[in-house]
Structure 1
């Protein structure tokens, strides 16, 4: 009922007195009631096809009137969009600049940071800014996921994340392709030093057998590389390890060795070994471990199956509740024997998932079908793989790192040749035994052995140990004093006493 009629009724009723001396008052007419009513917009007539579609929907589902209810709540955003003017600064051009400058620029920043910079740019020129949702949708619709990742993290990272890699088939012949690499194992060894040893291994792709391995505290260098090669070329003597049930019959020269670009793998020493033993080195692209994934996977298997259950392991533990250095119990020789036993009796005798056979059985099968090439002379394997150095012949012999090597008959003949006094002769040393060196006779192509004149400070002394002895001797001498053999003997005694004391202290602490 309209308000005016209601007020009229009230006024009519108020004229009737309800009692002696009493008068009824009419309610004041509100001011908002005097405004003209706002007429709703005219309803737009629907198209006949729309009515036809409504009728089919209504008739197909039992003529339920609820099917014709409009779903206004499911309609999208009906707000007006941002203004866009060609050849002018608009919120969209500022959005593109913010995305390019802050979000898709290395070093990468967060999306929220780029959006804040975009809002500031819009406020600076008094333009309306888009919502954060529209900002994100702009990035998603303008760039693909790979383009966004590549702009933020680089082409290589995008290639590794979104690229498709083909799986290669193993070679048909054994030793056709061999992988080599270094690995810092996840175990603390206690003797002769305390720390994490380095493992160098050679793996055959065709049979998955481990051709050779070397474990030591020597960081990646030609010394540990040479020992791993020698172990692969040489016959394995396992008589010192008790409890082995199988043999390790792998002592051959490979055809191709696939490696990374380490300094020791590109050395002149390895190049000369490559020429002398007639095999090739294939250098893989940098930062591409998947190209030698077999040996990388081997290192992971060794870490889990050999070292993860030993005292002193570093896998998935922190010093908050487990100190691997304090809990270490294995010496380096014990770790070495444990590794050899796992290779011979476990790894080589377990069915490999890729091959579908045991690696040792696959090795015996393929080597019988394709004969392999052994080392020509096992007596000269150290000479063929030794570290390459150069030096001159003086009137007393050949000097190397403070040691003297001499053989009067050989050196007199070489020194008497034309230019023999001033030329640099090719020498090869064993990094783990400085007791002798080999000198090359370039006319005949033969290698001659030169023994060290001081065998007590050089025999079975590695290159690293010799430098430690020199450092100890230098610290105990005055500045400018030349280090002699007597000083090296005293330094060796001090080093042996120090190692013995540390080992005894470690043994005493472990027994407690």
Structure 2
């Protein structure tokens, strides 16, 4: 056997590219590729061909007819483009990150050996419209925050809300993931399957959304003993399990539900999502529970060669996770964190006041002390205050339990906002503003007419002189043949004081004070 028969001889395959193109034509084509195609404008190959042909026509004006350059075709343009490395082309047109994503091969990712060793979390809007239970009006697309166990590919918890992703939705999903789902039997008796996923999560993998960098989540993980791992920006493949699940949830389930919005307009076409919307939020949550437990959890997953529920059961037998803290402690750890001043009125939070005997012990004999407060956003009836000395949380109850018990933070915000709006609409509010303006104007007028202490003495002296002058002009002068003049300073002072006492000085800004006489030295 001739071993040369194993040579592939790729160079002999197909039509060989021509190498006898004029140098001027090669230069024009390469110039066009650099200036038109390999730019951030990302112009098309057709635009590149037209640019080259336009330059060829311009160059032919200065060349003899026998040396005219021929127009290029799309096939020739593609031949020249094939000589460039694909990474170089993608990098010039889209950037290094996109080029790496397009050409990098991704493996299976980290392997896990037990349940809850690595849990991935993310959120997305659901491709379905939800209506209000009472009015039957369309409310919009809700958001879902979900956690999935990488070992078993089983969903361990989720939270659905109309609010955009926030730390509250993440904490509620976190709590749902770690606690047993014992409520299902009573709340959803038609669901025959079990959802056995609960326990202490060792590691949570998330992206760099603001809701995952919140201090409340970091404090909760530190208290519980769960580690947080943030993926690099724009690297969804580092948590590909949750990304794939959210796509499966929309494509394999919600796109077949009445009122679906589909993922793109091209798929929706003439489907009227608003007219066909029929699910309330409660009905959607019921369907999600049933689909996760009885459909997704029982479907064969080729990534683990088993169904998620089957893999979870195997892991629980070989290496079960630790039990999460009891629900009451977990409720404290997963509450929102705020810093407040503790004074003789207790703690003020969300326009509510909280007091207890334990708070007095923390405050001691100080006027106020800064404390860390945790509260459950689903129930503002009580808060938990951290004792800085004992390093434990104490309970403080709201001074208005009939209002705060069972009140959510969203309801409290709406109530406060409505109360302010109702007060602003009352005539009392306008009357108060008018009264405050009148008081301000009255005060300003008093300041303008006020006489300073420095100028008061001068005005009094000038007023007395003017009164004496007017009195002298008004009184007739009678010559006394034997005038009796005051011989002493005391008699003249008495005369002046008696005269001033008899005058009408209401029109003068003066003060009449009894004059003190000085005894003569003689």
What does residue 372 of structure 1 align with?
Answer: 321
- The whole-number CA distance in structure 2 between the counterparts of 1:231 and 1:482 is 47
What does residue 113 of structure 2 align with?
Answer: 172
Mean CA deviation greater in 122-131 or 231-240: 122-131
**3-state SS of 1:476 partner:** helix
**3-state SS of 2:262 partner:** coil
- Deviation, structure 1 residue 260: 0.8
- Choose from 278, 287, 297 the match for 2:234: 287
Q: Rate the CA distance shift 1:338–1:137 in 2: closer, same or farther, 3 A.
A: closer
- The whole-number CA distance in structure 2 between the counterparts of 1:118 and 1:339 is 57
- Deviation, structure 1 residue 425: 1.6
- Choose from 342, 355, 358 the match for 2:291: 342
> Is 1:188 equivalent to 2:129 in the alignment?
yes
Q: TM-score, normalised by structure 1?
A: 0.71
Q: Rate the CA distance shift 1:81–1:215 in 2: closer, same or farther, 3 A.
A: closer
Q: Rate the CA distance shift 1:77–1:190 in 2: closer, same or farther, 3 A.
A: closer
Note the 1:54-203 alignment, pairs <5 A: 81-82=21-22, 84=23, 92-118=26-52, 123=58, 126=62, 131-133=71-73, 136=77, 139-140=80-81, 142-168=83-109, 170-191=111-132, 194-203=139-148
- The whole-number CA distance in structure 2 between the counterparts of 1:75 and 1:274 is 64
Deviations 1:468-499 (A, max 9, x none): 2233233333299999xxxxxxxxxxxxxxxx
Note the 1:355-370 alignment, pairs <5 A: 355-370=304-319
What does residue 331 of structure 1 align with?
Answer: 280
Deviations 1:410-435 (A, max 9, x none): 222222266x72x5321112122222
- The whole-number CA distance in structure 1 between the counterparts of 2:382 and 2:62 is 84
Q: Rate the CA distance shift 1:114–1:373 in 2: closer, same or farther, 3 A.
A: same
Q: Rate the CA distance shift 1:320–1:131 in 2: closer, same or farther, 3 A.
A: closer
- The whole-number CA distance in structure 1 between the counterparts of 2:176 and 2:427 is 41
Mean CA deviation greater in 351-360 or 235-244: 351-360
When the two structures are aligned, how many residues end up with a matched partner? Answer: 400
What does residue 371 of structure 2 align with?
Answer: 425
The answer to whether the 8 A contact 1:269-1:387 is kept is yes
**3-state SS of 1:438 partner:** strand
- Deviation, structure 1 residue 186: 1.0
Q: Rate the CA distance shift 1:316–1:165 in 2: closer, same or farther, 3 A.
A: closer
Deviations 1:9-36 (A, max 9, x none): xxxxxxxxxxxxxxxxxxxxxxxxxxxx
Note the 1:298-313 alignment, pairs <5 A: 298-313=245-260
- Deviation, structure 1 residue 101: 2.5
> Structure 2 stretches of 5 or more lacking a match?
1-14, 430-522
- The whole-number CA distance in structure 1 between the counterparts of 2:307 and 2:79 is 56
What does residue 169 of structure 2 align with?
Answer: 224
- Choose from 357, 361, 374 the match for 1:413: 361
- The whole-number CA distance in structure 1 between the counterparts of 2:321 and 2:311 is 14
**3-state SS of 2:77 partner:** helix
Q: Rate the CA distance shift 1:113–1:351 in 2: closer, same or farther, 3 A.
A: closer
Mean CA deviation greater in 454-463 or 377-386: 454-463
What does residue 459 of structure 1 align with?
Answer: 405
What does residue 207 of structure 2 align with?
Answer: 260
- The whole-number CA distance in structure 2 between the counterparts of 1:243 and 1:92 is 73
- The whole-number CA distance in structure 1 between the counterparts of 2:30 and 2:251 is 49
- The whole-number CA distance in structure 1 between the counterparts of 2:253 and 2:106 is 31
What does residue 438 of structure 1 align with?
Answer: 384
- Deviation, structure 1 residue 126: 4.2
Deviations 1:302-349 (A, max 9, x none): 223432222111126867632212211111111111111222222223
- Deviation, structure 1 residue 279: 1.2
**3-state SS of 1:132 partner:** coil
- The whole-number CA distance in structure 1 between the counterparts of 2:299 and 2:46 is 53
RMSD: 3.0
Deviations 1:385-434 (A, max 9, x none): 11111111233121123222222x1222222266x72x532111212222
The answer to whether the 8 A contact 1:119-1:129 is kept is no
- Deviation, structure 1 residue 218: 2.3
What does residue 493 of structure 1 align with?
Answer: none
- The whole-number CA distance in structure 1 between the counterparts of 2:168 and 2:53 is 61
What does residue 51 of structure 1 align with?
Answer: none
Q: Rate the CA distance shift 1:117–1:322 in 2: closer, same or farther, 3 A.
A: closer
Deviations 1:424-460 (A, max 9, x none): 3211121222222211112111111222223344333
**3-state SS of 1:360 partner:** helix
What does residue 249 of structure 1 align with?
Answer: 196
What does residue 17 of structure 1 align with?
Answer: none
> Is 1:275 equivalent to 2:209 in the alignment?
no
**3-state SS of 1:282 partner:** strand
Note the 1:30-41 alignment, pairs <5 A: none
Q: Rate the CA distance shift 1:454–1:139 in 2: closer, same or farther, 3 A.
A: farther
- The whole-number CA distance in structure 1 between the counterparts of 2:36 and 2:293 is 56
Q: Rate the CA distance shift 1:344–1:443 in 2: closer, same or farther, 3 A.
A: same
- Deviation, structure 1 residue 138: 6.8
